[in-house]
Amino acid sequence: MKIIVPATSANVGPGFDSVGIAVTRYLTIEVLEPADDWFIEHDLGAGIPTDEKNLLLSTALSISTDMQPHRIKMTSEVPLARGLGSSSSVIVAGIELANQLAKLQLSDAEKLRIATEIEGHPDNVAPAIFGNMVIASYIGEDVQYVTSDFPSCDLVAFVPSYQLKTSDSRNVLPKEWSYKEAVAASSVANVAIAALLKGDLLTAGRSIESDHFHERYRQSLVKEFPQVKEVAHAHGAYATYLSGAGPTIMNLLAPEHTAAFVAALEELGLDGQIFQLKIDTFGVRVEK
């Protein structure tokens, strides 16, 4: 059995902690033979546990302890701590692992509730479960969500070589705002979401880049952001934004501009990787 979970790009500008999209890079969990003890085979680095301390298994075992241990192979195309939902993909895979092995028959809504409780907010875990774009809120213990197609476009991510922990990105955010600032930020987010739902990427792009909630505080942590954004605009990008807490920089473009933009981005010689992506429309899936 294989469990496949897409990477995700959260916030999408002003959709702070509430909007995310699923993209075409994947975490794959292969459940192999039964064993006396759980063991995860991976090549993700020496610091990633191979036993029940691994986030995959700690998530699964928090849901059900009544499971036969197995040997598991974990492979990931999702870079760690880069703003593409690496931990969220593992959490969603862990929930699905428990769902399959313990035969829980969880609904997608139940998976989202559990994942949000673990992660603390739904912006990454929701699209990892549903695919496409998900707009969600988490207030108290209540999770509300709306799924939608994302407007047709190409996505090009520049992924810097360094990690940026979510905790460090959150430390630069203000602790409180004035009522006037909150209303202004909310109005920008409302227009962004309405335009995305309508398929109007020109309007959505302007609002995405007008975010008040987090990007103006975090952009200084990602030194490549001004250069990437300048080149993206020179090649007709709809928007450039920080993916999640960063440092990945996501660019939305019409397909006819993608090749020229990627070539220009490569010419900058920045230290990082370039991923050409599409929207994943499936979310978590199981192959048996």
Is the pLDDT at 265 greater than 90? The verdict is yes
Q: Domain 154-277: what homologous superfamily?
A: GHMP kinase, C-terminal domain (3.30.70.890)
Q: How far is CA 223 from CA 145, 178, 207, 227, in A?
A: 34, 29, 22, 8
What is the rounded average pLDDT of the residues 147-155? Answer: 97
Closest CA to 173 of 211, 145, 204: 211
Closest CA to 240 of 231, 229, 227, 255: 229
- Listed as own residue / partner, the contacts of 96-100 with beta carbons closer than 8 Å and 24 or more positions apart are 96/3, 96/5, 96/29, 96/284, 96/286, 97/3, 97/29, 97/31, 97/56, 97/57, 97/59, 97/60, 97/72, 98/59, 98/60, 98/61, 98/63, 98/64, 98/67, 99/63, 100/1, 100/3, 100/31, 100/286
Cα 211 to Cα 185: distance, rounded to the nearest angstrom: 7
What is the rounded average pLDDT of the residues 48-54? Answer: 93
φ and ψ at 137, to 5 degrees? -130, 155
Domain boundaries, the chain: 2-149+280-287, 154-277
Binding residues for ATP: 79-89
Q: Which residues, at least 6 apart from 162, have a Cβ–Cβ distance to it below 8 Å? A: 247
Cα 119 to Cα 158: distance, rounded to the nearest angstrom: 25
Is the pLDDT at 168 greater than 90? The verdict is no
| Residue 44 pLDDT level (bands cut at 50, 70, 90) | confident
Give pLDDT, residue 164: 85
What is the rounded average pLDDT of the residues 59-87? Answer: 95
Query: What architecture (CATH level 2) is domain 2-149+280-287?
Result: 2-Layer Sandwich (3.30)
Both structure tokens of 135: 């707009």
Cα 57 to Cα 28: distance, rounded to the nearest angstrom: 14
Is the pLDDT at 132 greater than 90? The verdict is yes
Contact in structure between 231 and 121 (CB atoms under 8 Å): no
Is the pLDDT at 220 greater than 90? The verdict is no
Binding residues: 79-89
Both structure tokens of 200: 């109007």
What is the rounded average pLDDT of the residues 155-169? Answer: 89
The pTM is what? Answer: 0.95
> Is residue 105 packed enough to be buried (19+ CB in 10 Å), middle (13-18) or exposed (0-12)?
exposed
Beta bridge partners of 287: 2
Give me the count of residues in the chain: 288
pLDDT, one tens digit per residue, over 89-116 is 999 999 999 999 999 999 999 999 999 9
DSSP 220: G
